[in-house]
Each structure stands twice: as structure tokens, then as C-alpha cells.
Structure 1
């Protein structure tokens, strides 16, 4: 299954992200209940004027947006830029990030959010990587730390490397898998994911307790 975007002849020759932005702009503008004139007024107030006709042309696939337009549109629509760049989907459905690269929509969102690289390892949670293979786990974390080294500001990067942060991410991943399995009415998988989520919760609690003890020791 592939996450598709609406298209027409006028969009031929556009890259996959440009087509996605055009589809998302139309969807989000309507969801906000904004006319093209109202959205154009908001863009003008932000110092990035795009006429109403220009917005219509973008939505029809007749005009591309540049990076300044993209950020201003996200601000005017009160969404993350990611909401314009990616499908409104969180699943194993495939989405093209470049003509010769695609991944699941779930991995694409993690990548845009700065949570994981857009690699084959991104198709699996940290929890499953750990369970499968020690070498695979090591390679996953090598790629993830390399990704974070240039993606995040130094302060955030240091926080991201803390054991408690890693444990919290693993809890989040486990719950994501649990919810997906539960929504799919897959009782066997849901039971397994629930057990894994509880394990990750205990690991997070242990890290938080360790931090609490360290704080108390510092005060002493």
C-alpha cells in the first residue's frame, strides 16, 4: 500500500514532496475553514505575501512553494511544516521522500520530527531491534546518534543521549506499537506489545529513580 497524493496532468514533472505539499495545502486550508483570500491576508501579515490566485495555483499544481513560503504557510495554518510535507497517515503505507527513496509514513514522520533517521532501521522500534540482534541494535544506535549529531542543537543532543531520554523513547515506541495492534484487533500482537510496554515503563521508572537518588546525593 502506498500513500498517494491527488494529482493531475499539470503536476507531471513535480517531485513527490511538491505534489504532497499541494495536496496538503488544499486539505489544511479547508480544514481551517479559510478562503484563499483569508490565507493570503495571513501570509501578507507574516511578511511573506502570496496572492490568493497564487495559493490556488499551488493547490492546482501550477506553482511550487519555496522554503520561505512553506514556513509562512505552516505558521498561517497553525501547523508544523511537517503537516505540509507528509501524508496525514501513520502506518506502514509507503511514501516517497525522493523519486528513488520511499519508506513508511510512520518512519517519515519520525524522521521529520528529528526522532530517527530515514533508514531501514527506522521501520522497527528500538524495542524490536533490541530483541532481534545485538549487532543490529548497535548499528541502529550508531546510525541514530550520527543522525542526531547534526540534526539537533547541542543542548538537545546531550539531553537525547541521557539514559532516561532513551528509555522514554522506548516507552513511546512500545505504546505506538501497542495502539496499532489494538486498533487492528490483533489480540496476539497487542498482548505482546502490552507486555513490552510494561517492561519499558519499568525501565523508565528505574532511570527516573536513579536520577532522583543522584539529586538527593547532590543536595546532601
Structure 2
């Protein structure tokens, strides 16, 4: 998208979340922090998902990335944003990624209405149907009991 600061500032003003041209310039240079409301408004104004603005620009999913508190690959970070990959798995080799952690993360991070219809195809890295059933079962527990 070839959008200048002035046009973006006008779009943000129309969304009742004004950020002046100077503020936009400072954001792009990393000199101004962005709060969640800014992030949402910027995403709407640019016609993208907030996730798109949070992901580093990389050429490949295996490219290394760093985000606050996380060092891993671009694919791992995107998996975390998509609620597939627990943060504990980011940057870890396959032998240190445990299915039980993924089950717990997916069940805790996603809303119940989203979990109940999950299929294995939507859960990268989960290779057995019983894991999808465990996720759905954990999500349906209304008492919050996490016993295994």
C-alpha cells in the first residue's frame, strides 16, 4: 500500500483515533510507542489485521525473529499469534515441544466457541485425533479444573 503519512493521519482522524503526521513518522522510526488502541486503529486504517503490523517483515517462515521476550522463527511467532503455538515452544527444537503444552495453550487461549469445532487440519503439529478431543474436552470444562 502506497499511503503517505498525511493520508494515513486523515484515515485515523476519521476513526476518532488521531495520530498526527509527526507521530506516525516517530512510530515508523521506533521513537514512539503504540498502545493497543493505536494498533487497532492503524490496522483498520491500513486495511490489515493487527497481527500483520506485529509480525516482522521476513522472506521465509524459518527466518529468525525477535519480539519482546521471544526469540524464534517467523513461523513460530505467527503460530503464536494464530493461537496454535505456545510461547514456550518458540525457539525450541522439536524434541522440546510437548503436545500437552500445546493442548493446554490452545484450550486456555482460544474462546470456547472457537475450540469446539476445531479439526486436526487446523492444529499444525498435532498428529493424533485424541489430542483434538482433549482440547475440546478441556475447553468444555466449566469449572476450570485442569486435572489430567
Cα distance in structure 1, aligned partners of 2:116 and 2:99: 15
TM-score (norm 2): 0.72
Superposed, which structure 2 residues align to 1:40-79 within 5 Å? Answer: 40-79=9-48
After TM superposition, give the deviation of residue 72 of structure 1 in Å.
0.6
Asked which structure has the greater CA Rg, the reply is 1
* Runs of at least 4 residues off by over 6 Å: none
TM-score (norm 1): 0.50
Superposed, which structure 2 residues align to 1:98-113 within 5 Å? Answer: 98-99=68-69, 101-113=70-82
After TM superposition, give the deviation of residue 169 of structure 1 in Å.
3.3
RMSD: 2.7
| Residue 158 to residue 38, structure 1, CA distance change in 2 (3 Å) | same
Cα distance in structure 1, aligned partners of 2:65 and 2:28: 19
Cα distance in structure 2, aligned partners of 1:120 and 1:61: 28
Whether contact under 8 Å (2:65, 2:71) holds in the other structure is yes
Larger RCO (CA under 8 A, 6+ residues apart): 1
Cα distance in structure 2, aligned partners of 1:113 and 1:102: 17
Equivalenced residue count is 127
In structure 1, list runs of 5 or more residues that go unmatched. Answer: 1-31, 174-199, 205-220
Cα distance in structure 1, aligned partners of 2:106 and 2:27: 33
In structure 2, list runs of 5 or more residues that go unmatched. Answer: 130-148
After TM superposition, give the deviation of residue 92 of structure 1 in Å.
2.1
After TM superposition, give the deviation of residue 140 of structure 1 in Å.
2.5
Name the one with the larger helix percent: 1
Residue 96 (structure 1) aligned with residue 49 (structure 2): no
